[in-house]
Amino acid sequence: MWFAVVCLQVKLLAKDIYSQHFRAAQAVPRGVVAKLCSVVRQLEAACDKHTCQVSATSTVTSKFPFEMCLAAKKF
């Protein structure tokens, strides 16, 4: 009987430790994932900016290729 109580306490403590520490650590992108997220955000921003410029004017004189190259060089 006491063994079941100890097992339950250990299980609850492990779940509590996981919730407090490991779940928060898993939510933060690290290393390569953070770098890829940054590159994707840059590419999306360049595409959005290019799309706005194209729809606003008939002639396109943008830094779009330059911005795309800068984002790609971060790899």
Tens-of-pLDDT digits for all 75 residues of the chain?
677 788 888 888 888 888 877 777 777 777 877 788 888 888 888 787 777 766 666 555 567 677 777 777 766
DSSP state of 58: S
| Domain extent for 35 | 2-73
End-to-end CA gap in the chain = 58
pLDDT value for 17: 82
Are 53 and 60 in contact by the 8 Å Cβ rule? The answer is yes
DSSP H helices in the chain: 2-17, 23-27, 31-56, 64-73
pLDDT value for 47: 80
Number of domains in the chain: 1
Q: Give the separation between CA 51 and CA 23, rounded to whole angstroms.
A: 38
pLDDT value for 61: 56
